[in-house]
Every structure is written in C-alpha cells, then in structure tokens.
Amino acid sequence: MAAYFARAGRAFSLAYSFRRLKHSANTLIRNKVLLAAGVLTAPGDLSFMTRIALYPGTFDPLTNGHLDIIGRAVKLVDHLIIGVAVNAAKQPLFSLDERVAMVKAQAAQFADETVIEVRPFEGLLMHFAEQVGAQSIVRGLRAVSDFEYEFQMVAMNQQLNDDIETVFLMADPRHQAISSRLVKEIASLGGEVSAFVPPAIETLLKERLA
C-alpha cells in the first residue's frame, strides 16, 4: 500500500509539472493575442484570465461520483484545486496523506488542458478558498437532501464572502446513489464495490478492511 501511494505521488508530480507548463504556455499565447487586439490594456489585466475553482471534500475514499464531478469541473476552469479536508470528526478510514495521494493518482487523468492541484486543508472552507484565490467552489448534487444542505451552506458562505460563487454540478444518474460512507459500509460487510470506486481504490479498501 505504501508503495502504491509513493508511485502515485511521483506520477502525479511529473504529470502535473508537464501539464502546468503546457497550460502556462497556452495561457501566455492567448493573453498576448488579447493584448495585441486591445482587449487587455496592460499585463496587470491578466489576473482575471485565470479561472480558479475549488472542489472540496473528505474523499474517504474517492469514488466514481467524485471523479465524475472532477472530470466535468475541469471543462469549466483553467485551474482546479481539489481540497482534501482533514475532517477528524468523521474519523476517516484513510489518513490525510493517503487520501491526498489517492486523489492525485486518480485526478491526473483529467489534467489535460487544465491545471489540477490537490491540497489538504483544515478549518473554514471559505478561508481556504480565499487563501488559494478561488473565484468559485464546485459542489456535486446527488439528491434533494443534498440540495437542502448545500442551499443552507451557500447562504452562510455568501455572508462570509459574496465574491466567491458556488457552482453546483448534478451527479451523473449512474452515480447518484454513491457516497463514501455507503461504500465503506458495503466494503466492511464483504460486499462488492467495484461499480462505485476505481480498481486501485477498491484494492486499498480491501487491504484496509481485511
């Protein structure tokens, strides 16, 4: 298991570095064109060109539902930050470092034109969003119960910082019933979870719960 997380970290670092360079080059070319066309008047105007979104979660473990949201969020922004919450109150099955590593390993497949960064965080979500410069927070919705909770959270977050918007993405119908809690419960009782998580995550679950 330790070897898996080590390899995953190295693979993500290499992929992330290459794609970040590629993305930076593409952004630079685009900005030069806009400057030449007079759309931008000075280099200082370039700050608004990078669309940064934050997708927060505990990811204990990462599920196919999470990957669905990540895969769709990268189409909307230039830089997606996946925030892995400490969330000790939930008594996570995997450590923070393990969860960061599994998210890095699985999210690398989407980092084509968009920069993906995986970072741990603790404390208030809005404080972390401000710290990383996010203009929006991405949330996935599975059911009406999710909406009721998220609606309340948005109202509170707007009181804290109304410059940061919340973007809701509806879960793919195939993933609407998936939650990390249910996946762990099914796996702990010997059930089959291959339809809910990537193969590598399924292996880690079986090893941890053996």
Q: How far apart are CA 120 and CA 58, in angstroms?
A: 9
Catalytically annotated residue among 19, 79, 180, 184: 180
Query: For residues 14 and 17, what is the distance between their CA atoms, to the nearest angstrom?
Result: 5
User: Which structural domains are found in the chain, ordered by start?
Assistant: 2-209 (3.40.50.620)
| Average of per-residue pLDDT values in the chain | 83
Q: Are 65 and 178 in contact (CB under 8 A)?
A: yes
Determine the Cα–Cα distance for residues 142 and 179; give it in Å rounded to an integer.
9
Q: What pLDDT score was predicted for residue 58?
A: 96
Has residue 61 got a pLDDT over 50?
yes
Residue 90 is among the residues annotated as catalytic for this protein: yes
What are the structure tokens assigned to 100, written together? 């960061």
Interatomic CA distance for residues 95 and 100, integer angstroms: 9
Active site residue 79: no
Phi, psi of 66 (to 5 degrees): -60, -45
According to the model, what pLDDT value does residue 89 have?
79
pLDDT digits (tens, 9 = 90+) for 152-191: 899 999 999 999 999 999 989 888 889 999 999 999 999 9
Q: Which of 30, 90, 174, 181 is catalytic?
A: 90
Dump pLDDT digits (tens) for 71-117: 999 999 999 999 999 987 778 999 999 999 999 999 999 988 789 99
pLDDT class of 29 with cuts at 50, 70, 90: low
Active site residue 142: yes
> Any idea how long the chain is?
210
| From 66, 79, 104, 139, the catalytic residue | 66
Residue 131 binned pLDDT confidence (cut-offs 50, 70, 90)? very high
